[in-house]
Amino acid sequence: MRVTARLATLAAASLVATLSPPPTASAATSVTVFYATTWTTANIHYAPTGGTWTTAPGLPMGETACAGWKKKTIDLGTATGLKAAFNNGSGTWDNNGGGDYTLGLGTTTVKDGAVTAGAADPCAPQTPDTTPPSTPASLTATAQGTTIKLSWTESTDDVAVTGYRISRTKGSGAPQTLTTGTGTVYTDAGLDPDTTYTYTVRAVDAAANASPASAPASAETGSAPQPVPGTPLGGDPREDSIYFVMTARFNDGDSSNNRGGSQHVKSGNAANDDPMFRGDFKGLIDKLDYIKGLGFSALWITPVVLNRSDYDFHGYHGWDFYRVDPRLESPQATYQDLINQAHAKGIKIYQDVVYNHSSRWGAKGLFVPPVWGARDAEWRWMYSEKVAGKEYNPLDEHQGDDPAMSAAENARAKGRPYNGDLWHTSAPAGNTCPNFGTPNGQRSPEGYLIRHCQWPSPTTGMFPAQYYHQCWIGNWEGSDSKSCWLHDDLADLNTESKAVQDYLIDVYNTYIDMGVDGFRIDTAVHISRLMWNRHFLPAIQQHAQAVHGDKAKDFYVFGEVAAFVHDKWNRGSVNHSPQFYTWKERRDYDADDAKAVVEQYDYENLMGTAQQPTTDNAFLRGNDYHAPDHSRFSGMNVIDMRMHMNFGQASNAFHNGKDSDDSYNDATYNTVYVDSHDYGPNKSTVRYAEGTEAWAENMALMWTFRGIPTLYYGSEIEFQKGRPIDCGPTCPLATTGRAYYGDHLAGTVRAGDFGVVTESSGAVADTLRKPLAQHVQRLNQIRRAVPALQKGQYSTAGVSGNMAFKRRYTSGDVDSFALVTVTDGATFTGVPNGTYVDVVTGQSVTVTNGTLTVAAPGKGNARVYVRAVPGRPAPVKIGTAGPYLK
């Protein structure tokens, strides 16, 4: 229930409601809530599981407690828990940031946004915990290259060990403190080569008692490893189908790099033992055979660069663009290892890249805004104590055990990586933000004074125009959408600046050097097409081919030009429509980039939709394939947003998709998906939930119609269907479309070929038996065997039927011609005579009068009649009939 609804109810209700006394509660059916607050009066407004909300403001929490705590015991009857929010009876609410609190039976405490189930009575006399944990034993240090792996025996404590504090000494230098969780393994990576490091470990408990230091252990690093660069696999990207994963949520191969971050408790992830950074490259490498066994030959992964944000598992808050995020890497499972091992299995890697923005804290090596901070009585939990030479490392999180801070401060600090490299108590040299450090009249949720220049913003002068744009977007279909900030944690790079252009080009050249096969470009629409055409796209192609030669000629670039409408053109704005980005410029503009982007925007806006270029590159001429004209191609393909928006029903996606195809440079290169990590069809905020048959029908269309089929991880089992795709840190990831998938992949799996599994056991075997997993396996087998389905142009001329079309591709001695109908019956007239074989059923039909009629195969099914060509092997049934394609 939203707080606005509560406030409306509160306004209509008496602040002091006359409530019937609750029945006497039993321990088995009641919840006792302790709420930490400074309010004189506190009410609990709640709804039992499956029940309705109390009348606002709820029940007074008037039972005897102690200083700083309010208490209420509620009999829930048969309910197993409740949703709750708290208020002071005068309009001030605590509803957990809009997410409400979820409480179970028994005693629960709610303090500073943290819910503790099965808690002890906080008002009961407490005996101080002064007993330290036992000393960690058997510490070993083993070096491999510039990585040292530590392990030790678990310590014990009279209450619980909450973490370990590692002291690291480099050579004869001063010790440096590292912290880790409750695991007894720590990987210290990125060390100096040929250097001795000495370590000791102390165990720490919740009362900040620390054990004596362990016996020391030392190891000497070796030479810095020289990564073996990969080489792109090459080949037409339309021959592939794409599997899209959020790396941090797919499969956990190395738990030592898991991190929850500062939002771990607030988000509810802690209660599910589900850190936001959970999956990693090792987990991906371990399950490449799963991806290949489904039949996918390309893997799109979320951004890999080092992020810096409170909630950044998705990878779109880049901080150090040159460095791979260590929360994704492990020894022998680096990003380079993933690229190389995927290539060894014939799987391409498409890296998600961001040119539009950096993290709110800037981009290391380009510009980092100086921010105000102080370790004073209000903010010391937020700001790390400065350590000379120490840099941000998200693997090194605060453990919430600083004896100089209160329990509440430690709770807020827990999970925060070191940020002493960012903050300043007074304006540093070069500061451009006025009134540095003076109060700005606002207060934080904790009630603390907020200062000028404390939080990055485009309008405070913190970001020089040479590097960043300095405004907020006001019109999402206006020119400011290409030159202003999307959000306060996405600092908008000034891509019209040469310094920024050089930085981004150099950054992404490093990943091209590693051998990736293509880039998915995030937020491409928020950069002028002119900047893509002038600078970034030519740089990608030129560098790729200079380094990798012919293998890079098919380097696949596909941009996210988000257009959340059902129309051909995005609200009539060509500058904001996906197809617009597939074309080169058609006139010259000012040499000054800042002036040129305005000229280009105005010119194309004036030309409008009616005067945009058109093409028949995706269409057959009669029954004939023709060489496409790519002379005006920009170098950027796009995600098919119109089909995406209309995939609530496959037929809507089909008819809307083909209606747009004359306006793309070549729609056969479009990336086609139903839903993703952002939205479902019709801008739905939940993962696709229209049923298994509807999913099967969508897949049958995607794998036979033009474009490159792309599947978001888990859709092969309808993973998290109907769940919210993303709600940030206001709810547990386990309840969203970005939930952890690895539990469904446990066990062994071996792929003999694409779409062919030779061995599987455990949970992954069950996953592969799901109807849609079998469906996509066979669709991939069929598509890989029929060139017309991969690269063919298409036509609906002479074709009756709802989703029916003919496709053909010819090149050299290849002549692949297919007649396709999805779901419904169809009649094809005027087609070449000859023998056609349905590769789904194996049925053979001889056409003598140019007409072939196909009975309706049914929802989730399809028929693909492939014409036999003299002198070549005749088409045959491909794969085995399953729950669909039968």
Residue 624 reports pLDDT greater than 60 = yes
pLDDT band for position 15 (50/70/90)? very low
The position carrying tokens 């744009």 is 469
pLDDT tens, 657-684?
Answer: 999 999 999 999 999 999 999 999 999 9
Work out the percent of the chain whose per-residue pLDDT is above 70: 96
Tokens of 73: 């015991």
Residues 679 and 617: beta-carbon distance below 8 Å = no
Distance CA 75, CA 173 (A): 61
Query: Could you give the angle at the alpha carbon of 788 between the alpha carbons of 786 and 794, nearest 5°?
Result: 150
Question: Average pLDDT, stretch 541-547?
Answer: 96
Answer left, alpha or beta for residue 68, where phi above 0 means left and psi between -120 and 50 means alpha: left
Question: Average pLDDT, stretch 810-816?
Answer: 96
Distance CA 709, CA 196 (A): 51
Residues 541 and 551: beta-carbon distance below 8 Å = no
Which among 239, 231, 229, 351 has a CA at the least distance from the CA of 284? Answer: 351
**Residue 424: what pLDDT?**
97
**Residue 64: what pLDDT?**
67
pLDDT band for position 145 (50/70/90)? confident
Residues 6 or more apart whose Cβ sits within 8 Å of residue 70:
34, 35, 37, 39, 42, 61
Question: Average pLDDT, stretch 201-223?
Answer: 93
Distance CA 13, CA 418 (A): 47
Query: What pTM did the predictor assign?
Result: 0.81
Distance CA 660, CA 460 (A): 42
Lowest-confidence pick of 59-68, 426-435, 828-837: 59-68
Residue 120 reports pLDDT greater than 90 = no
Residue 22 reports pLDDT greater than 60 = no
pLDDT band for position 583 (50/70/90)? very high
Distance CA 701, CA 864 (A): 11
Separation in Å, CA 767 to CA 291, 664, 691, 718, 744: 12, 37, 17, 11, 6
Q: E strands of 502-555, at which residues?
A: 518-522
762 CA to centre of own chain: 27
Distance CA 836, CA 813 (A): 19
pLDDT tens, 689-705?
Answer: 999 999 999 999 999 99
**Residue 23: what pLDDT?**
41
Give the number of other CB atoms < 10 A from CB of residue 701.
26
pLDDT tens, 738-753?
Answer: 999 999 999 999 999 9
The position carrying tokens 């100089």 is 404
